[in-house]
Amino acid sequence: MSKLKRLSLGWGILPVAIFLAIWEIVARLDLIPGQFFFPPFSIVMQEFYYLTANGVLGHNFLSSLTRVLIGFCAGSIAGIAVGIIMGWRDVINKALNPIISLLYPIPALGWLPLLMLWLGIGEALPITIIFICSFFPVLYNTVTGIRNVDKDFIQVARTLGASDTKILTTVVLPLAIPNIFTGLRLESGMAWRVIIAAEMVAIPTGIGALLMKAESLIRIDIIIVCLIVLSVMCLSFEKFFAYMEAKLTTKWR
């Protein structure tokens, strides 16, 4: 690792370390009355260890992760597929755009009561919520990405003898990648926020459900563990897509 990178990493970690140290000191010195409402960071980490060791955290985490992965992948693939068709074909865009415009502003959690009645309480419910949460924004970004590709690129490809399919796959889609990945990056984080909310309200397993159980038992340490897991997962998913986008486009952007 170069000196510059080490220095930059150090500057990134330092504020977090200071924040954790202040947290620990404030909690230990009981500067906020009622220690169980504000446990020190070390206690939270201890609880993190117990929850991991006894499998409670792992089990709930895997439930949430599975739902997010299935819902997000399905929603994104469908969003990209429909987005490509809408972006590429004007007629289909004109036909579907009014419906999409009507459904897009509805927050994903707004569908929850309706889906509870339609699907019941089960695995299909959170997966469908995540599907909806990912589908519309990814679709919107894909359509925008494809329609924003400069028409001159398409004209040039046409003069060079490329068929419509070839133009779509070799020119339009690669140039729309930045937009598509912006959608994926933002929604991958959003999927975690939404799944937690859905599990808190309607599902008995997952990180969101664990949060609610901890709240009823007044276990602040467990709540903070869950929030840390949520934060790390949101960040990891977003960083993964940012990394993939950079890997695919850095050379030419």
Residue choice 15, 33, 34, 161 for contact with other proteins (CB under 8 A): 161
> In three state form, how does the secondary structure of 177-194 look?
HHHHHHHHHHHHHHHHHH
C-alpha Rg value of the chain to the nearest Å = 23
The 168-197 site mask, x for binding other proteins (CB under 8 A), equals --xx--xx----------------------
Work out how close the CB of 169 gets to other proteins at its nearest, in angstroms, rounded to a whole number. Answer: 11
Q: Which two tokens stand for residue 234?
A: 């949101």
Rounded Cα gap, residues 85 and 28, in angstroms: 59
Work out how close the CB of 81 gets to other proteins at its nearest, in angstroms, rounded to a whole number. Answer: 21
Q: Which residue has the tokens 């991991």?
A: 52
Q: Which candidate, 75, 53, 76, 55, places its Cα nearest to that of 205?
A: 55
Using the CB atoms, write b or e for 73-89: b if 16+ within 10 Å.
ebbbeebbebbbbbbbe
Number of residues in the chain: 253
Give, as ranges, the residues between 123 and 152 that touch other proteins (CB under 8 A). Answer: 150, 152
Work out how close the CB of 141 gets to other proteins at its nearest, in angstroms, rounded to a whole number. Answer: 18
Work out how close the CB of 245 gets to other proteins at its nearest, in angstroms, rounded to a whole number. Answer: 13
Residue choice 8, 97, 148, 155 for contact with other proteins (CB under 8 A): 155
Under the binding rule (CB under 8 A), the answer on residue 114 touching other proteins is no
Under the binding rule (CB under 8 A), the answer on residue 157 touching other proteins is yes
Under the binding rule (CB under 8 A), the answer on residue 249 touching other proteins is yes
Which amino acid makes up residue 193? R
Work out how close the CB of 150 gets to other proteins at its nearest, in angstroms, rounded to a whole number. Answer: 7
- Footprint of other proteins (CB under 8 A): 150, 152-153, 155-163, 166, 170-171, 174-175, 249, 251-253
